[in-house]
Structure 1
């Protein structure tokens, strides 16, 4: 007998042979003849099961509109290397601890970590820098609101504009048409301005572990293609013979990154 039937009220039935004597209603739950009476613990379990079945389904994630599904989330962590050292740790250790915790709680999840870079002395809260770097819509909207309608980034003077926040390079106002990997290569050099980067470091930081690692010769090919697209400004990427490559800023080179620093692969 199902739970629904056992808990339903029982109708009063009158016997045809004694119409003047109404049958008394059955107050106890029905059970099969010969079955033992339910114990107090059984009744409590039944009540809990009935309550659980009536409980509404878990609500959807608040920010997820109808017709879409949540596939993950972003946790912004704002802390620079000096603060991490003062706390007795490093950014790498924080990342690894968060990854380990995620793997423990949800083994089927995947993680990706990036570090947000900003010019030294840029100021502002660390977490705000990270949100802008990762193009958080709310942070970008707040920034635009603070700037009003003024937007100087759409002016294209002569020279080179390396717009890290928008992932583009303009040469005298015209887009250079760099590929994704070419821009990543240029960005890596720009963010380390004045330092010579060897080919091994470029391979290690610009190619994922899952990708087939290119040879040092491949790096030379990428740099050569990048420089050809920079046209008469190609000498901003200098070759240091026997070592690697370096970005040298000229007077006609403008780098836009302070408002929305680009994340770099951690």
Structure 2
């Protein structure tokens, strides 16, 4: 064999380096399949609902409003799916409702799973509280130590007004003007409202101090550990946007 042939033949070390450094053929991994959601038999999807938890104050802090956000979403949907139909509604809830905004929205708009969960929580509350007060805004009733209290319509309205403004002192004039229409024959004066409050407290029994007197001003609702408030499901407004 000639010297030229020997030089052209790669040494074992070179062959090894070439084998190590040679590109390894690869194949692209298959894209993961989208999970298939199980649907109840006999049903087909017709659209979707997007629950957004955001009040006007938080929207304003971000430099927008609910109307602006809805318009932006509608434009995006129109670009992506021109044949889509849209409907926007506002979730209304009592002032001071606690919890996460999005949970309040789901409940106010009667989202089935949120409503079902609330009903389960109400049953659990009843079982957990053999004693105490339950002010049920949604059903317009008061339970005291598990028994339904015989509140008149106006007595419940009075308690509800204070409950929905928890921790704030309400003046007598505000109670009268808010709970009685102008010209009502049975509308109390600033001092006779005290009579209605006394009757309310009498029916609350040993829990009467949840309605506190603020001398010279009016009344305030103070929640205790043994008081449960059920705010109800709320009522959605018509299409505002």
Task: Please give the TM-score of this superposition, normalised by the length of structure 1.
Answer: 0.48
Which whole-Å CA distance do the structure 2 matches of 1:184 and 1:262 have between them? 18
1:181-196 equivalences under 5 Å are: 181-196=154-169
Unaligned runs of 5+ in 1: 1-77, 90-114, 132-138
Match for residue 243 of structure 1? 217
Task: Please give the TM-score of this superposition, normalised by the length of structure 2.
Answer: 0.52
Shift of 1:225: 0.6
- Going from structure 1 to structure 2, the CA distance change for 1:161 and 1:262 (only over 3 Å counts) comes to farther
Shift of 1:208: 3.4
1:248-263 equivalences under 5 Å are: 248-257=222-231, 260=233
Match for residue 140 of structure 2? 167
Contact 2:107 2:114 in 1 (8 A): no
Shift of 1:84: 7.2
Contact 2:54 2:101 in 1 (8 A): no
- Going from structure 1 to structure 2, the CA distance change for 1:255 and 1:84 (only over 3 Å counts) comes to same
Q: Deviations over 1:51-95 (max 9, x none)?
A: xxxxxxxxxxxxxxxxxxxxxxxxxxx973416755579xxxxxx
- Going from structure 1 to structure 2, the CA distance change for 1:241 and 1:189 (only over 3 Å counts) comes to same
Match for residue 205 of structure 1? 178
Q: Which of the residues 74, 80, 86 maps onto 2:55? A: 80
Shift of 1:205: 1.8
Match for residue 124 of structure 2? 152
Which whole-Å CA distance do the structure 2 matches of 1:239 and 1:162 have between them? 19
Unaligned runs of 5+ in 2: 1-52, 67-91, 237-241
SS in 2 for 1:217: coil
Which whole-Å CA distance do the structure 2 matches of 1:125 and 1:256 have between them? 14
Count residues with an aligned counterpart: 155
SS in 1 for 2:223: coil
Task: State yes or no: 1:178 paired with 2:160.
Answer: no
Shift of 1:143: 3.6
Match for residue 122 of structure 1? 100
